[in-house]
Chain A
Amino acid sequence: MNTPLVEVRGLTKHFTRGGGLFQKGTVVKAVDGVSFSIDEGETFGLVGESGSGKSTTGRCMLRLVEPTAGEVRYAGEDVLAFSSSRMRAARRHMQMIFQDPYSSLNPRMKARDIVDEPLIIHKLGSKQDREARVAELFRLVGLDPAHLDRYPHEFSGGQRQRIGLARALALEPKFIIADEPVSALDVSIQAQVINLLMDLQQRLQLTYLFIAHDLRLVRHICRRVAVMYLGRIVEMGDTEAIFASPAHPYTRALLSAIPVTDPDAPRQRVDLDPDSVSHDAALVEVAPGHLAAVR
C-alpha cells in the first residue's frame, strides 16, 4: 500500500450569493463534504457536470479560495493550518494549470518572464542561473528556446498551454492540479499536450489531480477517478472498474452519454432521473476499492 501524497477529508465550500442589507443570500454548496486521497505518482481524475464543484475543490486544496470546512493534507501536513508565509512556501510543491491558455497568461509579459516570475518570487538563483533554468524548462515542455522573447499572442493555443506548464514546473512541484488543461485546445493538439503531461509525470515523478469533462481522456490517463454531482462525490474507484460497472445513476447517465466514435455501435442512452439520486446517501463500498453513494 502506498502512502497518499494528498489527502482531502470532508472538504466543504459554501458560497453566499445575492443577499444584502435586509435580505439573506442563498447559500450555494459548491463543495459539500468531499473526501479522497491521491497516491504519490498517481493521476487521479475528477469528473462531473458543469458546476458540480470540480474547480472549486481544486482551488480549495491550494487555498486559492478558503474552504468553509474540512481538511487537506499534503505529505501528512495540514495545509489549511498553514500561516500565509508557510502556505506560500508550500505552493512550491503544489501547482495548478488552467483550462484557458489564453486568459491565464499575462499578455504583456514575454514568455521568458512568465516562466521566470515564480523563480524571482521565490528568490531562486542568480540571474544567469534563472536564465539557464528558463531555457531548460522551455525545452522540457517541447518549446523552442529561440522563441523565449515572444509574447503569448505569438504562440498557438497548445504552445500557450506549454508555457503555462513550464511556469508551473519552474519550482519543481511534486503535485499538479490540472483543471481541464486541454478542453480549450484543438482536437489534434490535445493529444500532444496529454502525451507531454504523461512524459513529464514519468520523468519528474509528478502526482496529478486531473479535472476533466472528457471521459474518454480520463479513462486514458487516470488510474482512479471520482465522479462529482452537485458538490459531492457520488462514485469513486479504479477507472476501469467504474467504466465496466458504474453503480450510481449519475455515473451511468454520464458514461452512456459519451459519444461513440463508431457509426455502427449500438447506442444505449441512460437518462438520469433526478429522483433516483438520494442526496443524503453516504458512499458505501460496492466492490473492493469501488465506492458509490447508493442505498
Chain B
Amino acid sequence: MSSGMKKYLFWFANEHLDFRINEIKSIVSLLNVDLKWLKTPYEDPFWIGELDSDESATKIASRSITVRYIIDLWSTAPSVSELHNELHGLSHSLLAPYSDASFKIKVEIFGKSQTQKEKLDKIESFNYLPLNGRVQLKNPELALQYIEYYGVDHSIAPLHPRELYFGRVVAQCQRDLISKHSLKKRKFIGNTSMDPQLSLIMANQAKISKGDLVFDPFVGSGSLLIAAAEFGGYVLGTDIDYLMLHGKSRPTRKQDRDKPRNNESVFCNMKQYQLEDHYIDIIVADSSLPLWRPDILFDAIITDPPYGMREAIEKVGCRKEEKRISEQHLPTHIPSKVVYPLCRLMSDLLDFAALHLTVGARLVTWLPIIRCEYDEKKLPHHDCLQLVGNSEQILSTTSSRRLLTYEKNKNFKPNSSSNGILYSEETFRERYYKYVEQLRKVKGCEKDS
C-alpha cells in the first residue's frame, strides 16, 4: 500500500456495468480526489481502491450513482475462517475509536439466498469484536458491513463464497436520487424521457458543478436538465417540438390520455424537485441552425439526440399535407421537418461543442450502434475534442447505445476538422432497418466480431 493510503471497498449497484469506471473517473477528476484502483473486476459489484481518507470517500459518495456504499475495508479473504482470523488480530486497534459507539452489523449475502436465521448466525459470529456500545439499527455511530459474495449469477452460485469482505461503512452514495427523480411520479414526461439513473450518470460524466451553465440542444421533457440542476447546474434547453415544450403533445401515460393537461412543462418538473431556481429557459429552436451569440461558452453540454426511431413511429398516420402558412398561424406554425442524418447531426453537435464549450468542459451525448458493426475508430471526432468516456448500454442483441464523453482540449479554429463518420448520409433508423433486412437474408451475424 502506498504511504498514507487506505483500502476502501466500492460496492456498486449490479447494473450499468460499463458506466462504472467512467463515472468514478469523472467524479474523482471533478472533486480532485486521489484514487488508485487495486481491483476492478468488470462484472463483480465489489471493487477495491485506495484513498487517503474517509473525507475523500465521502466526496466520491456525494456524487456517485453507480456505487451504493463506500466501505473502509478491514478485511477481505477467500474463506470465513481466514476472515475471522485476520479480524481477531486487527479488531482491537481498528475498533479502539468506536469502543463505546452505538453500532449495527449488516450482513449481505450476494448471489445466493439465505434464511434470516443464517444471517443472524453470521452476525453472532462477530461476537468477539470489542464493541461495548449499544446496538442501534437506525443511524448508528458505527455501521459495520459483512459481505459474502457468491458471484452475480444465482443459478450457478458455488457452495462457498468466492470472496468475503468486512469493514466500516463510510458513506452511502446518491442512489436515493433515482427514486426521487422517478419518471413514474414525474409531472411531465415524453416518450423519450431519459431514465433518471442514466441522466444522473450523464451529469456526472459532464462534471457538472455548482454554478455551471449547462445546455441541452435536444431537451425534450428536460430529464437531463433535472439531473444537471440537481448537481448545481443552471440549465437551458432547446427543442424543435413546439407542442412538446408547451406541454401540448399527446400525453405519454396511457391513463392520462383523457385528462385535460394542465401546467405540464419542463419548468413544472423543475419545481416538483425544488430545482426551479436553477432553471433558466427552454426555447423552441432547431439545433441544426445557429442560435447563440458566437462567443457564448457553456460549462457543459449534455444531450440525447433524436435517432429517428420513436419520432418516426409517431409520424405514421399523422403526416399532414403542407399548407400555406397564414399570417394568423405564423406565430405557432410548426415548420415541416426534413431528415437530419445522424452523421450530420453528430458532426454539427461536435462542431457546436468545440465552439461553445469552455476549454476543459465536456459534451456528453448518446450514439446508437448496431453492435456487430461497431468500430471505435469510426466514432465521431473533432480536432478540439478528446473522447474521455465511452460506455455501452445494450438495448437488444443487435443494437445498443453508447454514452460518449468528449472534453474540449483546445480553442476552436475555423479550420478544425470534425467528422461524424459512423454512418454515411443515413439516419440511424434507415441504417437499422437496412441492417435488419440484411440479417433476415443472411440469418445470423458473426457474434461479437
Q: Do A and B bind each other?
A: no
Chain A positions within 8 Å of B, measured between CB atoms, are none
